[in-house]
Amino acid sequence: MLLLFDNEDAYKQMSPEDYQEEIEAHGKWIEELGGHFDTGEALEFPSKTVRGEEKIVTDGPFLETKELVGGFYIINAESLEHAAELAKGCPTLRLGGNIEIREVMAM
């Protein structure tokens, strides 16, 4: 699973043409992934967090971070290293975003 931490600030600086190019770049990347691509979802902002035993609900993410998970991809890879290699092609990196790679437990 590739967790995409988007750089929201970069998004706000973009022109309409930039957005269009970005969509085309993402589409191209998914095409390049071919059989490695499985599925993915884009996530809405804002978020809510429920904390601990008291079950306190707060606005915003669990961690005090500027980066939010904007979406995720599920890809098929042979290893974490291989997945990291594949993730390098993701256009979100160009905009200053980060990607966390986790393996979904097999059983």
Partner 1 sequence: MVDHLFREEAGKMTAILIRLFGLGNAELADDIVQETFITAMKKWPLKGVPENPSAWLMKVAKNKALNVVKRERMIREKSSSIPGINKDEAAIDNMFDQQEVKDTQLSMLFTCCYPEIKEREQLILILKILGGFSNAEIGSALLIEPEAVKKAFYRARVKIKNHYTELPELNREETQRRADTVLKAIYLLFNEGYKTSFADDLINADLCYTALRLAHLMTSITLEDSGRTHALLALMYFQSARFPARSGEQAEVLDLKDQDRSKWNRDLINKGFNHLMKSRNSKELSRYHLESTIASAHVQARSFAETDWKLICSCYKKLMMVEPSALIELNYVVALSYLYGAEFGLKKIESIEDSEIKAKQYFLWAAKAEMNVRLGRFGLAKSYYQVACDHAQSSFDKNYLRRKMEECDLNNLSQN
Query: Interacting stretch for partner 1, rule CB under 8 A, among 18-26, 55-63, 76-84, 97-105?
Result: 18-26
Residue 68, C-beta contacts closer than 8 angstroms, at least 6 positions apart: 5, 6, 8, 45, 47, 61
Binding mask 71-90 for partner 1 (x = CB under 8 A): x-------------------
- 11 touches partner 1 (CB under 8 A): yes
Question: How far does CA 26 lie from the centroid of its chain?
Answer: 12
Residue 106, CA distances (Å) to 10, 40, 81 in order = 36, 18, 17
- 50 touches partner 1 (CB under 8 A): no
- 3 touches partner 1 (CB under 8 A): no
Per DSSP, the residues of 10-31 read: HHHT--HHHHHHHHHHHHHHHH
- 19 touches partner 1 (CB under 8 A): yes
- 54 touches partner 1 (CB under 8 A): no
Residues that bind partner 1 (CB under 8 A): 11-12, 14-17, 19-20, 22-24, 26-27, 29-30, 39-43, 70-71
